[in-house]
Structure 1
Amino acid sequence: MASIDSKVNLSTIPLVALNVTVRKKLGLYLNPKNIMGFSYLEITNFENFKNPTNEILKNWQAQRSEASVGKLLSILTEAERTDVVEDLRALIDEDVRKYIAFMEKKEDPPVQVPEVDSCVPRTPETLGLTVLDDPDGLYPERFDAFICYCQSDFPFVHEMIRELEQTDYKLKLCVFDRDVLPGSCVWTITSELIEKRCKRMVAVVSDEYLESDACDFQTKFALSLCPGARSKRLIPVIYKPMTKSFPSILRFLTVCDFTRPCTQSWFWVRLAKALSLP
């Protein structure tokens, strides 16, 4: 495949133009090399992920203003990885073509929208929801699980992050206070994340959870997406004794109970396996 027009300045093409295929192939070539100028501690943290190179690229495009396709190719060349440049150049050129075509189309919107699709929201509220999202919504950040919790249970959510994200399980959790950008409607954001960005939802059930309108909405919304729990989409978790009755709408679901001393040693393994299912 021929290269793209030589008049195209690749340093003006943001890194977000590269799609999943290119990023996966870069990972095969580069994991866990450090060519982006991150510190040793940052690289060590990235190695906890399934594809360290992909995490480096996402953080690079989010944190560094110079992140571009041209800069990436320049870095690979300086690192004497011309093999990567040569093998992936055709795919990169195709992604750049698509990105330029998308941006040109975006700048010249049609006068009339020919079709209204209520199933796929296209409002600005659904773009750039999380810290690592790209603003145009080309590569929305995705997660293994949305964590439904109330503020008083946040210490347990921190423990969940340590046990599931920072260990060999390497799961990716959506924690609202950590991952979601401020400024948009809470109900719109949570609906979009639960339905389209997260494979499952973990509900941290406690007495305080029962009093939370946000937790009530998130739980009922998640249940509406999986009638009869056919897809194991919602997983209730109890981590401390409750004085109030367990919610009746969750009684037909298998609970992960941290309060039972005899099963505590299996708690994180069971939860991690459930969240790792396709």
Structure 2
Amino acid sequence: MASVVDPDMFQVPLAALCNSTREALSTHLNPLKVLPTDEGLLRDWRGLAQLAGFSGQMVALMGSKPDPTAQVLSQWRQGSVGLLRSILGQLDRWDIVNDTQNMMDHDAVLFLKRKEETGASAPELDADVDKEILTIADVYRLEQGMEPQRYDAFLLFADEDQDFAMQIMDRMETEYGLKLCLRDRDLVGGLTFEHEAIMRLIARRCNRLIVIASPNFLKSEANKFFVTFATALGIDQRLRKVVPVMYQRCQLPPELTYYFWLDYSRAGKLYDFWTKLHNSIHSPSNMQSSRTNLPAIKANGEESCSLKPQPVLEHNTVISSNWKDEDPADSCSLGSENSSTLSQNVSSQCIF
């Protein structure tokens, strides 16, 4: 058995590497190297993928992703920290070994210490990660025999809008005591199917999806898919799922023009944006109280397009313009006349 003080790195799985270590590896390995090793091995992520045993087709698929090194590390199920270091040596990338040695050692010690304290074997932990453990909080809750973490909202934003997203995270968690889920901060490293994990979090573990709309946000097909997916969930379950925030004015896709939006540009003494956002996240869904009175939705969707939500609030208004900003109680609510049309639109986009 590997010692916590002097760990056998060949017994430490790649799942032990934290996100900062993985990012450091990506920084070194993602840039393509022209000169190969004396054995003809490419000295970047492609050489790592080759020696890890991935097929040429898989390597090509990884190369189409923004961070191919992360793809290699997440899908290399039989890899270990020791084997990773050995391969980096074969690739003549001792610069990476030297730069990341302390980080890997630190990750390995933490992993083995946690394993020793919980008494969980690596195969058992891996099986749980594949099924239910999606976030870092889940790992610690698993060790304490608790259910996976639930969140008030999943925060979806473009990378270019990260500074504003961090403001939302800080205000909502520090001042209002909410718990948000962010992809880069909360998801565990090494998830094979990140999109599927995010969908499961949005559908089962996050009460809301906060959407930060901007021109950069709409450039991402993945972001637009998650919004469409959450919108379909909200319609089928008759609850408010999406909390839309207009950060920078942009031309919204058709499925998003049905919402009332919180306008960040109006923030000030006369428009308390942060309180409105908190109330939109924390308040009960407009439709939850009337769900028991609604007929069941058939599996083939015959009734899903004919059902009209019963208005609970006096000012549940139909949206006719591209976007509107209203009080927190109205933000994210759908106009009853438009709900069937939107249900038809999103149902055709969310079949997977």
TM-score under structure 2 length normalisation: 0.42
Per the alignment, do residues 67 and 200 of structure 1 end up closer, same or farther by CA in structure 2, a change over 3 Å counting?
same
Per the alignment, do residues 270 and 230 of structure 1 end up closer, same or farther by CA in structure 2, a change over 3 Å counting?
farther
- Residue 274 of structure 1 aligns with an amino acid whose one-letter code is S
Q: Is the 8 A contact 2:154 2:206 kept in 1?
A: yes
Partner of 1:155: 163
Partner of 1:197: 205
How far 1:265 sits from its partner (Å)? 3.9
Partner of 2:226: 218
Match of 1:206 among 203, 214, 219: 214
Q: Is the 8 A contact 2:267 2:273 kept in 1?
A: no
Larger Rg: 2
Q: Percent of aligned positions with the same letter in both sequences?
A: 30
User: 2:197, 2:157 → 1: CA distance?
Assistant: 15
Segments of 5+ residues of structure 1 without an aligned counterpart are: 1-62, 69-102, 108-121
Runs of 4+ in 1 over 2 A off after TM superposition: 63-68, 122-127, 134-138, 260-265
User: 1:232, 1:263 → 2: CA distance?
Assistant: 27
Per the alignment, do residues 237 and 254 of structure 1 end up closer, same or farther by CA in structure 2, a change over 3 Å counting?
same
Instruction: Tell me the number of residue pairs that the alignment of Structure 1 and Structure 2 aligns.
Output: 166
Q: What SS does the aligned partner of 1:201 have?
A: strand
Per the alignment, do residues 262 and 233 of structure 1 end up closer, same or farther by CA in structure 2, a change over 3 Å counting?
same
User: 2:157, 2:172 → 1: CA distance?
Assistant: 16
Q: Is the 8 A contact 2:215 2:248 kept in 1?
A: no
Instruction: Say whether 1:237 aligns with 2:242.
Output: no
How far 1:65 sits from its partner (Å)? 6.5
User: 1:262, 1:224 → 2: CA distance?
Assistant: 33
Instruction: Say whether 1:183 aligns with 2:190.
Output: yes
TM-score under structure 1 length normalisation: 0.52
- Residue 224 of structure 2 aligns with an amino acid whose one-letter code is D
Partner of 1:26: none
1:80-118 Cα distance to aligned partner (Å, 9 max, x none):
xxxxxxxxxxxxxxxxxxxxxxx9xxx9xxxxxxxxxxx
User: 1:255, 1:229 → 2: CA distance?
Assistant: 21
Segments of 5+ residues of structure 2 without an aligned counterpart are: 1-112, 285-352
1:28-51 Cα distance to aligned partner (Å, 9 max, x none):
xxxxxxxxxxxxxxxxxxxxxxxx
User: 2:117, 2:178 → 1: CA distance?
Assistant: 26
Q: Is the 8 A contact 2:266 2:273 kept in 1?
A: no
User: 1:229, 1:153 → 2: CA distance?
Assistant: 30
Q: Compute the RMSD of aligned alpha carbons.
A: 3.3
Partner of 1:173: 180
Q: What SS does the aligned partner of 1:192 have?
A: helix
